[in-house]
Amino acid sequence: MRIIAGERKGFRLEGPVDSSIRPTSDLRRDAIFNTLGWLIEDQTFHDLFSGTGAMGLEALSRGAKTAVLIEMGKKAQDLIRRNIARARYEKQARLIPTNAYRWIESHRPTTPGVYFLDPPFPEYVDHPDRFEKHLRILLERVVAGSIVIVESRWKMEREVLPDLENWYLRRYGETRVAYWGLSDSDGDHEEDDEIDDDDENDDLDADDESRD
């Protein structure tokens, strides 16, 4: 696992040691940030259910001003701290060791930001109402100009996404990614991108040498 583009392009990140942490693959991460493009620049990137911290660190490498990484799991928190240090983003990245839902309930933003949510898969199956409730709270509180991104291997439906018609949906293999706040949003239209969820990053690694 590595940072794909930007000022830290090629920097290796430490991956999870067990299946309790399921990071966004390099290819999907690249596709998401390519969709965002310049909109990430000078923004605060909020990575909820952060896992490895890779999304927030990628955002910093591509021009985000700061990254806020929210993670409840102790193993994941330790992993995020190590990856922040590896990427040398100690000044720009901040880990908040708390439950993502509790953080949403207390969040009172005053400036626009980018928010990425990729909860554990069982959350969509076992507690879709809880996820939808807190996602709705977040959407009601973010400042105009903010962007919210949700990733899941679960089909994006109204029980998960509030006001489904306001989301721009993309599908990368078996994974769905929903974008809220993009100016060119196509509503509930879903597009496919040719990305294999089981890819082991060979295509990306072939292009660049990694750096420690």
Write down the pTM of the prediction.
0.86
Q: Are 187 and 166 in contact (CB under 8 A)?
A: yes
Q: Per residue in 100-146, pLDDT tens?
A: 999 999 999 999 999 999 998 878 878 889 999 999 999 999 999 99
Percentage helix, strand, coil, to 5, in the chain?
Answer: 35, 20, 45
Q: Per residue in 13-48, pLDDT tens?
A: 998 776 666 667 788 899 999 999 999 999 999 999
In which band, very low, low, confident or very high, does the pLDDT at 198 lie, cut at 50, 70 and 90? very low
Domains, the chain, ordered by start: 32-205 (3.40.50.150)
What is the rounded distance in angstroms from the CA atom of residue 58 to the CA atom of residue 46? 12
H or E, element range at 82: helix 74-87
